A = this chain, B = another copy of it.
Amino acid sequence: MAAGVSTATVSRAVRGIPGVSAATRERVLKIVERLGYVPSSSASGLASGRTMTMGVVVPMIDRWYFATALGGADRALRAAGYDLMVFNLGGAGGNRERVFHRSMLRKRIDALLVMCMSLTEEELVSLRALDSPSIVVGSNLEGVRHVSIDDPVAVKDAVEHLIGLGHRDIAHLQGTGEYGFDFSVPLLRNEAFEATMQAHGLPVRPEWTALGNFRAADGKAAAARLLDDPGNRPTAIFASSDEMAFGVMMAAAERGIRIPEELSVVGIDDHELSEPAGLTTIRQRPDEQGAFAAGLLLAELAGAARVQPGIQPHELVVRKSTAPPPSPVTT
């Protein structure tokens, strides 16, 4: 080598491995710097079996939750010198199978983060067959470790906030898995909504159950149906995501329905726009969930024992979209 030392020494020096004298290390590092040398990740990956790369599977990279969680995971990875490889299932197009079956499966990543979707039995098998550690973020898949909030409790907190305000006529704007991705989250939230209503002796009216797919546009369309039924309009709407709650606010605004005087709205997420929009919601922190999950995997790669993560925190944030229901016109 240029420094008059062997490749082995360079390797040790660059990686900060003990067994090199301080003087030699410094000399090597200086030359490395001057030459702009960067080790080939392919070569070191091949030789060592470690790629220093973590894979993250996301159903859709451009949704708020996933993008935010990805940012959090990335933060943890960068701090540890790991690279981030993103496998976007990308909505409809079917590279889902390919992702799970081929490219990522082996020798490309050291660990895998799966964002918030339910997996087929076959995919679960692939996941377990992967010798790399893996974890799911944002969803509580049975049989797989996951990092997520306690969805049932989060829903309960949101709905009970409404009930505590005096609402009895509460509609639910559900989320649905889209593109056949079957997030397990929406189902959980639906069940929790019904359970909470029942626990308080409140009816769950079928005509007050609307479907969106976690997006504002759908939320708006769904809310339109709820709001255009005069004389039979709910006094409050619980939306399974903030983005759908925005849709409700937009639909209400177009109809001149005042929030919160005539209609209360509560969501889940604490989306970036929720604060300026004044939306009361259940806050969760996808970035911290992502970072936490990535950190867990990183620790395992560093030799730590496999741990079972606890539930992530959520919190009711009361803003300006909820208030007691209007006094009934007829009693």
Contacts and interface: CB of A to CB of B under 8 A. Distances in A.
Interface string A50-87: 01010000001110100110110011001001011111
A39 B108 CA distance: 9
Determine which residue in A62, A83, A87, A93 has the highest number of CB atoms from chain B within 10 A of its CB, and name it: A62
Number of copies: 2
A178 interface: no
A255 interface: no
Interface string A241-281: 00100110010011000000000000000001101111000
A38 B71 CA distance: 29
B272 A215 contact: yes
A258 B68 CA distance: 33
Contacts of A39: 107
Interface string A204-227: 000000000001110110000000
Interface in A78-116: 78, 81, 83-88, 90, 93, 95, 98, 102-108
Contact of A41 (B81, B107, B253): B107
Contact of A216 (B74, B90, B272): B272
A97 to B, nearest CB: 12
Nearest to A105: B38
Interface residues of A, number: 59
A41 to B, nearest CB: 5
Contacts of A81: 103
A187 interface: no
Determine which residue in A60, A61, A85, A278 has the highest number of CB atoms from chain B within 10 A of its CB, and name it: A61
B88 A78 contact: yes
A18 to B, nearest CB: 21
Contacts of A42: 41-43, 45-46, 51, 107-108
Interface string A269-300: 00011011110000000010000000000000
A86 to B, nearest CB: 5
Contacts of A327: none
Contacts of A107: 38-43
Contacts of A277: 216, 246, 250
A205 B277 CA distance: 28
Interface in A298-325: none
Contacts of A217: 272, 275-276
B220 A246 contact: no
A87 B102 CA distance: 23
A276 B246 contact: yes
Determine which residue in A41, A95, A277 has the highest number of CB atoms from chain B within 10 A of its CB, and name it: A41
A209 B319 CA distance: 29
Given A43-B46, A46-B46, A61 B74 contact: yes
Given A36-B105, A83-B87, 4 more contacts: A40-B106, A46-B46, A70-B86, A216-B276
9 contacts: A38-B103, A61-B67, A74-B90, A78-B95, A83-B87, A84-B85, A84-B88, A85-B86, A216-B277
